């Protein structure tokens, strides 16, 4: 499904001040070709427990898929950094939560900041397979003829659920995605924040190697991996969402 028909405001930046825990801020980072809609229920849950929450719309997303062919990868972590700096003005501690490419973006930003903790859901750290790497290498040439490719979207096990993202994979946008992931992987050892990672055992978008690389290479002294047994890739909107939300709450309570 495309972005057309999304609930009002769900494709835009979202910020809500907390109550009893307003000095703890949480930034939620959506995935590549996705939208803030994939993170809104999670953010709403955390805000209902008194935390300050922010769900930024990453550049090139939530509009039309062609816009993702016009961005540079640095714009994604820069947008998240803006929210960290914003929350830092009123919050004593800041957490990052990322889905898919949003997980890779979270790790990139975490390597440069002193965060209270991070939470990753089916995070992305590399594009696996020789065919995919060959396609990326020749993407600028391919883009002359095809600006968009077939996409695996709305990988959700629960029926009638959408993340309100693009149903096309922007060719040049994938090149920038690959550059983000390469830069981030080289900095994984610099990630020190306590890390909670959720991995769907049945994920049709990313191979498990993404999770394995992250767990092996991040520098965090505390890192925990949880298996999700009843969700596909967009697990924040899927059957295991309550488990993600509740365990995230415990993680944030522990480290704040």
| In the chain, where the domains are located | 14-255
Clarify whether 100 is annotated catalytic: yes
What is the phi/psi pair of residue 199, to 5°? -130, 125
Structure tokens at 111: 């390597």
Cα 79 from chain centroid (whole Å): 13
Q: Rounded distance, CA 184 to CA 101, Å?
A: 11
Assess whether 111 carries a catalytic annotation: no
Any catalytic annotation for residue 200? no
- pLDDT below 50 — which residues of the chain? none
Rounded to an integer, what distance in angstroms lies between the CA atom of residue 23 and that of residue 88? 9
Helix (H, G, I), strand (E, B) or coil at 197: strand
Contact 232, 203 (CB under 8 A): yes
How far apart, in whole angstroms, are the C-alpha atoms of residue 76 and residue 32?
10
- On the 0-12 / 13-18 / 19+ scale of CB atoms within 10 A, 179 is middle
**Tokens at 83, concatenated:** 């929210």
The whole-angstrom separation of Cα 147 and Cα 223 is 39
Alpha carbon separation from 174 to 71, 143, 154, 192, 211 (Å, rounded): 11, 11, 18, 28, 20
Coil, helix or strand at residue 225: strand
**pTM for the whole structure:** 0.94
Q: In the chain, how many H helices and how many E strands?
A: 8, 9
Torsions phi, psi for 4 (to 5 deg): -70, 130
Q: Which position among 126, 233, 248, 256 bears the catalytic label?
A: 233
- Looking at residue 146, what is its pLDDT? 72
**C-alpha closest to that of 3 among 43, 72, 57, 56:** 57
pLDDT at 125: 97
Q: Looking at 54, 100, 231, 248, which residue is catalytic?
A: 100
DSSP-derived secondary structure letter, 56: P
What fold characterizes domain 14-255? Rossmann fold (3.40.50)
Instruction: Indicate which residue of 154, 155, 203, 238 is catalytic.
Output: 203
Instruction: Fill in the DSSP letter of residue 58.
Output: P
């Amino acid at each position: 499904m495309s972005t057309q028909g999304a609930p009002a405001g769900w494709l835009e930046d979202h910020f809500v001040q907390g109550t009893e825990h307003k000095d703890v801020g949480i930034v939620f980072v959506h995935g590549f070709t996705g939208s803030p809609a994939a993170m809104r229920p999670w953010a709403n849950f955390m805000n209902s427990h008194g935390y300050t929450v922010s769900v930024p719309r990453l550049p090139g997303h939530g509009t039309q898929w062609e816009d993702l062919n016009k961005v540079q990868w640095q714009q994604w972590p820069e947008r998240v950094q803006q929210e960290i700096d914003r929350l830092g003005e009123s919050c004593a501690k800041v957490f990052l939560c990322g889905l898919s490419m949003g997980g890779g973006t979270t790790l990139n930003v975490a390597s440069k900041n002193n965060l209270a903790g991070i939470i990753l859901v089916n995070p992305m750290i590399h594009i696996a397979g020789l065919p995919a790497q060959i396609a990326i290498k020749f993407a600028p040439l391919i883009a002359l003829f095809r600006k968009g490719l077939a996409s695996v979207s709305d990988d959700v096990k629960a029926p009638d659920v959408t993340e309100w993202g693009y149903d096309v994979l922007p060719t040049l946008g994938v090149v920038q995605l690959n550059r983000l992931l390469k830069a981030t992987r080289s900095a994984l050892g610099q990630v020190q924040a306590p890390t909670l990672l959720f991995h769907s055992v049945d994920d049709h978008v990313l191979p498990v190697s993404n999770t394995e690389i992250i767990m092996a290479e991040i520098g965090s002294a505390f890192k925990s991996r949880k298996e999700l047994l009843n969700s596909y890739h967009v697990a924040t909107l899927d059957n295991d969402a309550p488990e993600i939300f509740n365990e995230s709450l415990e993680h944030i309570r522990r480290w704040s």
